[in-house]
Structure 1
Amino acid sequence: MDRQQLADFLRTRRDAITPEGVGLPSGQRRRTPGLRRQEVAQLAGISVEYYIRLEQARGPKPSRQVLGALARALVLDHDERAHLFHLVDELPEADSGREVPQAVRNLLAGLDDFPAYAMDTCYDMIAWNDKAERLMGYLSALSAPQRNILRTNFSGDGVAERLADPSIRRFLADSVSDLRASYARNPGDRKLKALVEELLRTSPEFGELWADHRVAVRTAQRKRVVHPEVGPLEFDCQVLDVPGTGLRLVVYVPQPDSPTAAAFRRLSRVTSATPAPPV
C-alpha cells in the first residue's frame, strides 16, 4: 500500500469536485476549491478523523467497503476507481456490466449478418441483436436470471443429455474454466460468488467440472448446434472484450457461402422459433 500516493490522489480528487456536483450547497465562505474533508467523510459515511489520517498518509489500510464508499463520494469514473483500489493493493470491484454503453448497443444492432450478444463475467446475456433473438428463440421473453447461460445449461431437465454431446460438453467445460479465471480475478464480486455457490449447490455436473480446477480464458471456438427451425449449424464463436465495461461481445460467424450462412439468412425471415438453451 502506497500511503503517500493514496493521500495525494484523494486530495486532488476532492479538490476537483464542486459541492453542487454532489448535491451540497456551495456557500459563500469556502476556502477550498472543491469539497471539504468533512464533506467527503460525510458522503462516504466514515469519520472525519479517519479521512484526515488517510489524506495525511498515516491512516490504516482502508477496507474494500471504505474504498467503494470513497469512490462514490468522490464521483470517480471507472479508471479512477480501479486506480484507487490498486493504490492499496486491492483488486478493483468487478463491474456488473448491467449498464451497456450505447456504442455497444449500436454495434450489436449494426451486426445484421451475425447473431451477437453482450454478456458479463457471470455469463448473463444482457444485450443482443435481432439475429441472436431469432437464433436462440426466446431471449426477450425471459427474465434476467433465466438468461444466464451457465444456469440454463446446468439446471432443469436434459443436463446429462447436453453433456453427452461432445461439442456442448467442451463448450460448457471451457465456460466453467473461464468462470474460474474470472472468480480469481474478481474476489470481491458478490454476484459472481453467489452464482458459483448456487451452481455448486444445485448442479452435480457443474461441481464435477469446477472441481477440476481448470483455468482458461474463453476465446474463439468452433460450435456446432442443431436449430429446431433451420437444422444443423456450424460457426466460429468469437469472444471480444469491451475494455472498461466488464462486458464481452460474443459473435457467431459462419464461413462465407456455407450452409450455416444460408441458414442465418433464413433466420432473418423466421418470425417465431422454438425455445432452446442459449449457446
Structure 2
Amino acid sequence: MSDREELAGFLLRCRERLCPAEVGLPDGVRRRTAGLRREEVARLAGMSVDYYARLEQNRGPHPSPRLLAALARALRLEQDDRDHLFHLAGHVPPGRSSGGDEHVSPAILLILDRLHDVPAQVMSDSGDVLAQNAMAVALLGPNVGRNVVVRWFTEPASRLRFRAADADGMSRAYVADLRATLVGRPDDPGPAAVVARLRAGSAEFAALWDADAEAAGGEGTGRRGMGETVRHPEIGEITVRRQVLVAVEAGQRVIVHTAPAGSRAAGQLALLRVVGAQTMSA
C-alpha cells in the first residue's frame, strides 16, 4: 500500500540534499533554495516537470516501477533508499540477486557525469541500458530503459546508426554476449526471457542462436574492445572503440566509446560534445 504523503516528503528531502555538481549540472545562478530544482530532477528522470511536481505535492498519480527506478537514478539514491522509495509508492523493490538488480550506484553515476568528453553507458549483461551520460545520448540516442539487443533484432530502425557492412558482425557479437550471460547465470529468469523473446520474434537471432557455438562466438568475447562506426545524422560516420571499462555489481558493465588522441574521430567527438550540449539546451 502506498503512502503518498511520505513519498512526497521523501522526494523533497532527496532533491534538497543534492547539489548540481553531484549530478553533472552547472551550479548556475539565482538558486534561492538548496538542492536541485524540480525541473532538473524531472529532466534527469526523463519525465514531465508537471508529473514530478504533482508527486512532490502529494497529488500525483501512482508511479510505475520504471518511473521509480528513473527517479532513484536521478536522485542518486543508494540501494536502501531506493528500496524505501519503492515501498512508499506501494511496490516491491527489485531483487538484489545476482544479475537481477538494475539499480546503478551513485558512485558509478558520478563517474558517468565526470566523463565529459567520451560517450559512456552502464548496461546489464543482457543488453539493458541502465544509465548513460550526455555524450552517449548525443552519439547513440536516449536509450535508458531499452534493451539494445532486442531493439537490434526486432526494430530495423535501430540499425540506421550503423553501417550495413557491420551488421552481421554486430549481430553475431550480440548473440555471443547473450549466450555467455545465459551460461553464466542459467537460473536467472532475466536473460532467459530475453533469449525466448528474441527466438520468437527474430528469425535472424534464432538462426544464429541455433548455430554452432564456436561459429556464433560462444566464448562470450562479444563486442568488448571492438571498433564501431556510428552514423551520426549531423556529424557523419564516427569510428570509435567500444571498451568495457570496468564491471560493477552483478551483471553490470560500464562501457565507454573512445578515439585515439589527435585522430579524426577524436575531433568528431569534440564536435559531438558541442552539438549534444546545444541539443540539450534546446
Query: The TM-score by the shorter chain falls in which range?
Result: 0.5 to 0.7
Task: Indicate if the aligned counterparts of 2:153 and 2:202 stay in contact, CA closer than 8 A.
Answer: yes
Q: Does 1:174 align with 2:181?
A: no
Larger RCO (alpha carbons 8 Å, 6+ apart): 1
Counterpart for residue 255 of structure 2: 250
Structure 1-normalised TM-score?
Answer: 0.58
List aligned pairs for 1:172-251, cutoff 5 A: 172-212=171-211, 213=213, 214=216, 215=218, 216-218=220-222, 219-251=224-256
Cα offsets for 1:77-135 (capped at 9, x unmatched) = xxxxxxxxxxxxxxx95322411111111111111111010000210000111100111
Q: CA deviation at 1:137?
A: 2.7
Given the superposition, is the C-alpha separation of residues 225 and 161 from structure 1 closer, same or farther in structure 2, using an over 3 Å criterion?
closer
Shift of 1:157: 3.4
1:101 is aligned to 2:105: yes
Output the amino acid matched with 1:193. Answer: A
Verify the 8 A CA contact 1:242 1:249 in the aligned structure 2.
yes
> Do the aligned partners of 1:93 and 1:186 also contact (CA within 8 Å) in 2?
no
**Which amino acid in 2 is paired with 1:152?**
R
Q: CA RMSD in A?
A: 2.6
Task: Tell me the matched-pair count.
Answer: 178
Aligned to 1:115: 119
Contact 2:152 2:159 in 1 (8 A): no
Cα distance in structure 1, aligned partners of 2:197 and 2:118 = 32
Q: 2:158 & 2:124 partners in 1: Cα distance?
A: 23
2:265 is equivalent to residue 260 of structure 1? yes
Q: Distance in 2 between matches of 1:164 and 1:116?
A: 21
Aligned mate of 1:137, from 120, 124, 141: 141
Conserved 8 A contact 1:94-1:188:
no
Given residue 133 of structure 2, which amino acid in structure 1 is its aligned partner?
Answer: N
The one-letter code matched in structure 1 to 2:112 is L
> What is the correspondence of 1:135-174 to structure 2 with a 5 Å cutoff?
135-139=139-143, 144=145, 147-157=146-156, 165-174=164-173
What SS does structure 2 have at the residue aligned with 1:169? helix
CA contact (8 A) 1:163 1:169 kept: no
Contact 2:162 2:230 in 1 (8 A): no
**Which amino acid counterpart does residue 184 of structure 1 have in structure 2?**
V
Runs of 4+ in 1 over 3 A off after TM superposition: 157-164
- Deviation at 1:177? 0.6
Distance across 2 between alignment mates of 1:250 and 1:244 = 14
Amino acid aligned to 1:96: G
Task: Give the unaligned 5+ runs of structure 2.
Answer: 1-95
Deviation at 1:160, TM superposition (A): 9.0
- In structure 1, stretches of 5+ residues that fail to align are 1-91, 274-279
Aligned partner of 2:279 among 244, 265, 272: 272
What TM-score comes out, normalization by structure 2 length? 0.57
Question: Which residue does 2:84 correspond to in 1?
Answer: none
